[in-house]
Amino acid sequence: MINSGKEEKTPLQEKLGVLADDIGSLGFKMACLTFGAMTVHLLLEKIYYGESLFTMAIIKEILNYFIIAVTVIVVAVPEGLPLAVTIALAYSVMKMKDEKNLVRYLSACETMGGANNICSDKTGTLTKN
């Protein structure tokens, strides 16, 4: 198992993955809604005033609407989320150190934070299984 390099996701990583997927899908839906609403508004306005729908100005305007929709998708993803999680885990490592617990991996603090009782061998080392 050590040679395979296969790492399991921690519960926090799994929850953040679900949250990121939800935010991404919501951002995509809102971008599609924004693009559709702006395009329909433009076309209905041009039809109402009897203007031609197939001009270069209309195509440029629709392209601008598409750029706005892509911007909505990009802005919807929080880029500071992984950094905030890392800082929170580093803070928990320091708190565990104050309680005389040396933590080797940041992700271990996440699972150890919910433990009430810890059983260890005579060396005090906690290992998997």
Write out the catalytic residue numbers.
121
Helix (H, G, I), strand (E, B) or coil at 105: coil
The string of DSSP letters for 45-57 reads: HHHHTT--SSSHH
Residue that is written with structure tokens 């061998």 in the block: 121
28, 71 Cβ separation under 8 angstroms: no
| Distance from the first to the final alpha carbon of the chain | 13
d(CA 115, CA 97): 16
| Token pair for 127 | 């290992």
